[in-house]
Structure 1
Amino acid sequence: MSYNIEKVAILGAGTMGAQIAGHCANAGIPALLFDLNDELVQNGMNVLTSLKPAPLYDKKIVALIEGCTYENDLEKLSDVDWIVEAVAEKMEIKHKVFQNIVPHVKDDVILSTNTSGLSVHSIAEALPENLLKRFLLTHFFNPPRYLRLVEIITDLADDDVVQTMVSFLEDVLGKGLVYAKDTPNFIANRIGVYGMMAALNLTEEMALTVEEVDKLTGTVVGRPKSATFRTADVVGLDILTHVANTSYERCIDDEDRDMFKIPEVLTKLIEDDRLGQKSKAGFYKKTDDGIMSLDFKTMEYKPQKRVRFDGFRLAKDQTHLTGKLKAMAWSDDKAGKFFWELLSRTLIYSANRITEISDDIINVDNALKWGFGWESGPFETWDAIGVEKSLTRMKEEGKKVPAWVEEMVASGRKSFYEIGDKAKTFYSITDKTPAEIPLKNKVINLAIEKSKGNLVKKDWSASLVDLGDGVLNVEFHSILQPVMNPIDTSVVETINDGLDLIEAGKYKALILNHDGANFCAGANLKLILQFCEEANWV
């Protein structure tokens, strides 16, 4: 059976539900936004036009969203193709909402829950047998317009329902999907919140400041600028505590379960109603004198101090993320010791979760990149610092290393990912062998293209790569400023060489494309000045 999603309904007009409706509207999909009363619905609509960063491409898009109440408008669900539940994280509320809508939905409706950590199978108990095959998890991350991740659990749904939702989420809403298992907090929150709680505990253990930890866990190691404590403030300390408690209470057999225990400093903040950004005080507080940071000992706020560590400075001086991670992980100062301890714990914890929360490392890495804004996932990070070298150090320190990682290294494979003969592979724990990473038809991986022998020319800041079908690719890889890729002589000459090949009839088209985060910062102004002085106008 084929399904088309042309109209959606979101149950729950809170911040998350409203933004899911807004993102559907961004894609041109009409949405019904439900809640208990008109006031709650209007509050959700107001969020869409006032929240920053803006949930909508244009405020006029809100016209595609119709506010509804459960009491007056349930009959409007009769022509809705996809209904997503986004009500409070309480099982009894979710059950009641689903039970109320069931009599009003059409026969081929697709249903999903946006729960962030409750059991999907337990939620499904509220549904009749005929709807189970069209029920799945679609867990969006906040804010849904900006965070790519959607975690899905599909084991109850028919294949054609899954195929429809995968296509819609990826191609219409622009989402990156990871396939999770029905375990507490799924993938991203299980690993990401573990890392945040580990950082919080290490802050106290090593007598570091809030601002020091945020510098050491921020952009310098490929994490968001908000790092650890600023992220906690933005998310809300009550929300962070709820997620951590879910893992602690429900992951009884977790070998590092105690990491999710709520530390005293977090308990005190919540008791004082210092919940982060929404209460204007958390780990940080904005005052007339600037943004102050929390002193864990006094629970008072103090001016932030400049962060000075040799390891941090060395990492900042590195050009590529791999170099930054190595500099931090192998530094023997306080910064390095903190980062190594945090990283090694997170890597071991992530490896221990394979087969429990996900069948492979790819879904774990993508979940942290797309949901938490990491530049590299746990296993990509482990590759960057050196798997064999780090395993040796972990064992010397008495850390219990996952057996499957040792087995991988013993088999002769020294990294979780490799670009081999015409394909990128990952180590499959279930098969204990390398497995090819499937590429979607719409994805071009230049490293793989070059591994196929399609490199036409390589210069110091740009290359020409044959993509097939008469298409030539100019890849930027500035040797001096690889993060920003400014246009220099090498880039200009490579583009001209590509155009010459087209004029000679060897190729039909030339595209400019690379795999870096930033496409191009613009022209190298010194080069432009030089061209002007030489009257070189070509």
Structure 2
Amino acid sequence: MVRSTFESIGKEVIMSAQIEKVAVLGAGVMGAQLAGHLANAGIPSLLFDLTPELARKGIDTLTSLKPAPLYKPKNTQLITPCTYDQDVERIGEVDWVLEAVAERLDIKEQVYQTILPHLKSTAILSSNTSGIPLAALTEPLPDEVAERFLITHFFNPPRYMRLLELVKGPTTRPEVYDQIAEFGRTVLGKGIVHAKDTPNFIGNRIGVYGLMVTIQTAIKMGLTVEEVDKLTGTLVGRPKSATFRTADVVGLDTLAHVARTSYERGETDPERDIFKNPPILDQLLESGRLGQKTKAGFYKKEGKDILSVDLETGEYGPQKRVRFDGYRLAKEHQKVGDKIAALAFSEDKAGQFFWEILSRTLIYSANRVPEISDTLYDVDRAMRWGFGWELGPFETWDALGVERVVDRMQLEGKPVPDWVLQMIRTGRKRFYTLQDGVSSCYQPQTKTAEEIPTPPETIFLSLEKSKGKCVRRDWSASLIDLGDGVLNV
């Protein structure tokens, strides 16, 4: 179990807290899977919904969803279906209340008011919201509850997506925040990213920006759905679902909702208009083609054939074979950074397209620090752990060569962020450095490199290699001495 101690405000009393049981509010697809993943970790939970049927249905779906949310089907035995009318008193049994109801502030507020009288004084309350401001969520809460409140944004499906974005408010106790971070990392196996109370936090802010830029650039340059997915998938270290297939899997209604949040709450974002729906997305939404769940979106399966949509007309047709010189050049390389560079600097249509979406995403990411995150590495981690990128934006920039990328951006009149130019002028050529077992990352606010903290229970092989512990290596593998008579291949 994760244990922590904290001193109550204004009192010389030491209170101990441990997370042994959790209440999950909302038995929809996400809430049920969160209860399921808690069960995977051996943590019992109470799964609440409006009716016994809805709560039970949430549990039952865990054994049929794909990919499987549970390590073992019998893990459902750790989940108890509950309703607010019949079982709300049981909220007093739990150490953490994890709210995952519909993304409407009025619904969340109503649920909070229902459970507050039964919340024990040491219990933590958090929301899995993906876009509602923390300040709005805590406004109606009593001060003593707001001190124990934070946002815990899990990515779907929670068993498989490593990312957990944490957002604390100005009154959130540091001990509460640290306890959830430790529990998420050591018990739930999550990669913790420290986000700020900004629209869509880190992962969805950068990821959806990149996706919308990709769609709009594809339309402008006349690329097909299948051409874009060929260039933005495993070739460049992204998931096999690439761009349009990812949108279909997520749901086009969900994509539009997340984009709308960035637009509506992004009054100060110079690139706000990117988050407006392109005409093809509106056309698909209006016709009820929402992606995988409606069997039609950017792709549509007819018999044994998978058709792709025409981005101009909205009509489906057979996929065409994709052939680009840039694709062939990228395939010749082994390392993902080299593949990205080969494609981005290719002179054909594929290279021009990929450079445009990549360079804009790199610039956008750099301009969002420190707005959405205080560190570059949290931005990179969010994209690796939440979107399945092999390299985050700043890791990609390093792989391509910071100066090389900046030179081309300036040649084309693209607005390179001032702090990146200042970094280069100081003689620093990379965002990341790795030396003598220490990994450091440039910090724009302090204009210095700062060591990246590493969890004590984790071994990073790249750090061990930099300590000179590589016994032997060839093109395919390395033999590393980890100490205590242990070798790693």
TM-score class normalised by the smaller sequence: over 0.9
Determine the structure 2 residue equivalent to 1:511: 487
Question: Are the counterparts in 2 of residues 192 and 372 from structure 1 also a CA contact under 8 Å?
Answer: yes
Corresponding position: 1:27 with 2:23: no
- Structure 2: which amino acid aligns with 1:443? T
- Structure 2: which amino acid aligns with 1:228? T
- Structure 2: which amino acid aligns with 1:151? E
Summarize the alignment of residues 366-515 of structure 1 with structure 2, pairs less than 5 Å apart. Answer: 366-459=381-474, 461-468=476-483, 471=484, 509-513=485-489
Summarize the alignment of residues 103-114 of structure 1 with structure 2, pairs less than 5 Å apart. Answer: 103-114=117-128
Determine the structure 1 residue equivalent to 2:66: 52
TM-score by length of 1: 0.86
Question: Are the counterparts in 1 of residues 200 and 261 from structure 2 also a CA contact under 8 Å?
Answer: yes
Q: Distance in 1 between matches of 2:246 and 2:95?
A: 35
Shift of 1:60: 1.0
Summarize the alignment of residues 257-406 of structure 1 with structure 2, pairs less than 5 Å apart. Answer: 257-406=272-421
Q: SS state of the match for residue 46, structure 2?
A: strand
Determine the structure 1 residue equivalent to 2:12: none
Q: Distance in 1 between matches of 2:207 and 2:474?
A: 39
Give the number of the structure with larger relative contact order, counting CA–CA contacts within 8 Å between residues 6 or more apart.
Answer: 2
Q: Distance in 2 between matches of 1:284 and 1:79?
A: 47
Q: Distance in 1 between matches of 2:268 and 2:179?
A: 36
Match of 1:77 among 73, 85, 91: 91
Determine the structure 2 residue equivalent to 1:96: 110
Question: Are the counterparts in 2 of residues 322 and 385 from structure 1 also a CA contact under 8 Å?
Answer: yes
Question: Are the counterparts in 1 of residues 482 and 488 from structure 2 also a CA contact under 8 Å?
Answer: no
Question: Are the counterparts in 2 of residues 98 and 126 from structure 1 also a CA contact under 8 Å?
Answer: no
Shift of 1:404: 0.3
Q: How many residues align structurally?
A: 474
Question: Are the counterparts in 1 of residues 480 and 488 from structure 2 also a CA contact under 8 Å?
Answer: no
Corresponding position: 1:125 with 2:147: no
Question: Are the counterparts in 2 of residues 178 and 367 from structure 1 also a CA contact under 8 Å?
Answer: yes
Structure with the greater alpha carbon radius of gyration: 1
Determine the structure 2 residue equivalent to 1:521: none
Q: Distance in 1 between matches of 2:294 and 2:389?
A: 27
* Unaligned ranges ≥5, structure 2: 1-5, 7-15
Determine the structure 1 residue equivalent to 2:13: none
Q: Identity of aligned pairs, percent?
A: 59
Shift of 1:268: 0.8
Q: Distance in 1 between matches of 2:476 and 2:67?
A: 35
Q: SS state of the match for residue 62, structure 2?
A: helix
Q: SS state of the match for residue 174, structure 1?
A: coil
Shift of 1:3: 1.6
Shift of 1:460: 5.2
Shift of 1:452: 2.6
Q: Which moved more, 1:455-464 or 1:400-409?
A: 455-464
Q: Distance in 2 between matches of 1:459 and 1:21?
A: 45
- Structure 1: which amino acid aligns with 2:425? A
Determine the structure 1 residue equivalent to 2:10: none
Determine the structure 1 residue equivalent to 2:180: 165
Question: Are the counterparts in 2 of residues 422 and 451 from structure 1 also a CA contact under 8 Å?
Answer: yes
Shift of 1:379: 0.4
Q: Any idea what the Cα deviations from partners look like across 1:25-75, whole Å, max 9, x if unmatched? A: 111111111111122212211221111000011111111111111111101
Q: SS state of the match for residue 391, structure 2?
A: coil
- Structure 1: which amino acid aligns with 2:124? I
TM-score by length of 2: 0.95
Q: CA RMSD in A?
A: 1.3
Q: Distance in 2 between matches of 1:115 and 1:170?
A: 19
Question: Are the counterparts in 1 of residues 479 and 487 from structure 2 also a CA contact under 8 Å?
Answer: no
Question: Are the counterparts in 2 of residues 3 and 161 from structure 1 also a CA contact under 8 Å?
Answer: no
Shift of 1:289: 4.1
Shift of 1:455: 3.5
Question: Are the counterparts in 2 of residues 3 and 164 from structure 1 also a CA contact under 8 Å?
Answer: no
Shift of 1:462: 4.3
* Unaligned ranges ≥5, structure 1: 472-508, 514-538
Shift of 1:117: 0.9
Shift of 1:90: 0.7
Residues 511/304 of structure 1: CA separation in 2 closer, same or farther (3 Å cut): same
